[in-house]
A and B are shown apart, each in its own frame.
Chain A
Amino acid sequence: MDARALTKVFERGRRTWIQRLRREPDHRERFVAVDGIELRVEQGEIFGMLGPNGAGKTTTMRILATLLLPTSGAARVLGIDVREQPREVRRRFGAVLSGERSLYWKLTARENLEYFAALYHLPPRRTRERIESVLDAVKLTDRADDYVERYSMGMRQRLVLARALLPDPPLLLLDEPTVGLDPQAARDMRERVLELRSEGKTVLLTTHYMEEADQLCDRVAIIDHGRIVALDTPTALKRTIQAEEVVRLEIAAEADGVVSRLSENAQVARQERADGLLHLTMHTVSARDFVPRAFDAARAAGATIKHVEVVPVTLEDVFLALTGRALRE
């Protein structure tokens, strides 16, 4: 699967027929949601798109899923152009795009799947066996004849995944597959995704949970404002930060000089004032060396460190280093 210079421009606001007829200038605001995305997903990998709200992840996904036409650029799924042959492309992927609401609540899981199996053109002979197999894959066999309205959110999300698996597609597009799930259900879902890879399927997913991207993905594209700002394996991405550990400090009192003193011993990745405290995120090679020095520096500047936290480098820090902003802002 690959995308070249993929761009999507949305027009906001309306242009009335009268404006069109009078050929008035177009005053609609143009908004670039996807801005020249280039990526190549290899067969059999789990590829993640990580980015904050509004970064353009879903839009990219919807272009690949043939729901949206790109303004320019091209994308191919298993060598087939999404713009030219959308139906051929749709034969080759299963998608979880619209969340767990997108089921018929007054039908049972099995009835939902029967309906979609026919839309997926599954041959009648194979339908029953496929339905049993996907129900089994998402562990819903024993609840298959209950109405979907009686399902928990996690079960519905699993059923949505089962639906995407019906045609046994080589490629899966998963938009925020764990959003809104409780931790256990989210963990289950991630395990399912890993199983899919072990079955040789290619998975493209979006998330704004960095842990998820880190644990699950072979490669991650970090997306911001419709652009890929970094693309590599999670390990390699984290290595771009010249640090082994991240130290978070909360410091009380005015202490103007404290930041410059601290920055002699580690790199200030971020500073923010909130609740009367100075919140600092520091990148360091060794927290063990840095933390005692931080206390000394604070004392010298007449400030008090209220809280210290040492955490490993995450993709969040990579995002922060690249954009100067936190993922969830």
Chain B
Amino acid sequence: MAGRTGAWALEARAIVAITRKDLRILTRYPLEVFNQIGQPIYQFVIPSLLLGATFAVGGRAVGLEETAGTGDVAGFLILGMLVAYLVGAAFWGIGYSFKREMDQATLEPAWLTPVARETLVLGRGLSALVLSAIGIVLMLAIAVALFGVRLSPAIVLAVPAFLLAALAVLGVAFLISSAVLLIKEPVFWVDASDALFAAASGVMFPITVLPGFLKLVSFALPTTYAIDLLRVTGLGARPLLDPVLQYAALAMLAAILLPLGRAVFAWADRRLREQGTVGQH
């Protein structure tokens, strides 16, 4: 019998193997790499930075200065995008990837191995993180080199917030994965919920401009706080709430979402076993 630590090591090795497999396959579709990493940048980051520049007065966005306390549109958007990458990794890199594996009929053989089901989620998560990290670095480079974004070193104070948000988003990834495993045609739902999640987190605008009930949604999302803390520390923006409160909210959301996501995923696994549909898509 393998000891407890041995069991962990084997799961960790499986996570690495999943990531390696995903990345290997990606390198065999060079256009797909470009698509996954480059698309958010050329479709979204650059146009919105240019749009922001259009409305700037003397390099500062006066309107944004008024609502968010920083006039640096480019910095504002980049930090929002940083978290949007995380959300995208959860929804597409983890959640939707199960659909692809089902379509390829490769999920069932994985399901037949003794690996923990959660490991399959975490493995996808690691490969999605690797890709997101490349995208983020690229985006930051563009922002700094072409749009003159300057971030304060104080931004390191928001790193724990980013990590807490990542844990909470992992919980969301478990939820999305569960839905993808059970719903027949998940692409619309994944796309719509990803867009809503990102929007309500304030990726592209300060959430203070949202109508009342949507603002409530925003405050329920961990990413809202992560984005705000990044902007507060990196750009000197005006905080939505006291940063201490924000940290508390983040910790609480991570403590709720991660166990909730895991529980729902275990439930979905059971439903799947009742219906017998893991190989029938």
Contact = CB atoms under 8 A, between A and B. Distances in A.
A, B from the same assembly? yes
Interface of A: 10, 59, 62, 65-69, 86-88, 90-91, 95, 97-99, 101-107, 111, 114-121, 123-124, 160, 163
Given A69-B273, A124-B13, A106 B105 contact: no
Q: Binding site of B, secondary structure by majority: helix, strand, loop or mixed?
A: helix
B16 A106 contact: no
B108 A67 contact: yes
Given A68-B274, A98-B109, A102-B105, 17 more contacts: A67-B111, A67-B273, A67-B278, A67-B279, A69-B270, A86-B273, A98-B105, A98-B108, A99-B105, A102-B104, A103-B106, A104-B104, A106-B28, A115-B20, A119-B14, A119-B115, A123-B10
B113 A119 contact: yes
Contacts of B16: 118
A102 B108 contact: yes
Contacts of A123: 10
5 closest Cβ pairs, A-B complex: A118-B17, A68-B276, A119-B113, A102-B105, A115-B21
Given A102-B106, A102-B108, A120 B114 contact: yes
A126 to B, nearest CB: 12
30 contacts: A59-B276, A66-B112, A66-B273, A67-B279, A68-B274, A86-B273, A98-B105, A98-B108, A98-B279, A99-B105, A101-B105, A102-B105, A102-B108, A102-B109, A104-B106, A106-B28, A107-B21, A107-B25, A114-B20, A116-B113, A118-B13, A118-B115, A119-B17, A119-B114, A119-B115, A120-B114, A121-B10, A121-B14, A121-B115, A124-B13
Contacts of B115: 118-121
A180 B172 CA distance: 42
B164 interface: no
A69 to B, nearest CB: 5
Contact of A116 (B25, B105, B109): B109
Contacts of B112: 65-67, 90, 95, 97
A68 B273 contact: yes
Contacts, number: 97
B110 interface: yes
A95 B108 CA distance: 10
A102 B105 CA distance: 5
B24 interface: yes
Contact of A115 (B17, B111, B276): B17
B18 interface: yes
Contact of B276 (A62, A101, A120, A163): A62
B29 interface: yes
Interface centre among B17, B20, B116, by most chain A C-beta atoms within 10 angstroms, is B17
A48 to B, nearest CB: 21
Contacts of A124: 13
A209 B114 CA distance: 31
A94 to B, nearest CB: 8
Nearest to B117: A87
Contacts of A88: 114
A123 B3 CA distance: 13
Contacts of B274: 68-69
A60 to B, nearest CB: 11
Nearest to B11: A121
Contacts of A91: 114
B124 to A, nearest CB: 13
A111 B26 CA distance: 14
Interface string B89-125: 0000000000000001110111111111000000000
A123 B10 CA distance: 8
Contact of A114 (B17, B28, B105, B106): B17
Interface in B242-281: 270, 273-274, 276, 278-279
Contacts of B14: 118-119, 121
Contacts of B20: 114-115
Nearest to B112: A95
A160 B29 CA distance: 24
B274 to A, nearest CB: 5
Nearest to A101: B105
Interface centre among B16, B105, B114, by most chain A C-beta atoms within 10 angstroms, is B114
A91 B279 CA distance: 20
B123 to A, nearest CB: 9
A86 B279 CA distance: 17
Interface in B106-159: 106, 108-116
Interface in B4-52: 10, 13-14, 16-18, 20-21, 24-25, 28-29
Contacts of B10: 121, 123
A119 B115 CA distance: 5
Contacts of A104: 21, 25, 104, 106
Contacts of A90: 112-114
Contacts of B273: 66-69, 86
A97 B13 contact: no
Interface centre among B10, B13, B113, B279, by most chain A C-beta atoms within 10 angstroms, is B113
A61 B114 CA distance: 17
A119 B106 contact: no
Nearest to B27: A106
Interface centre among B16, B109, B279, by most chain A C-beta atoms within 10 angstroms, is B109
Nearest to A149: B28
Contacts of A99: 105
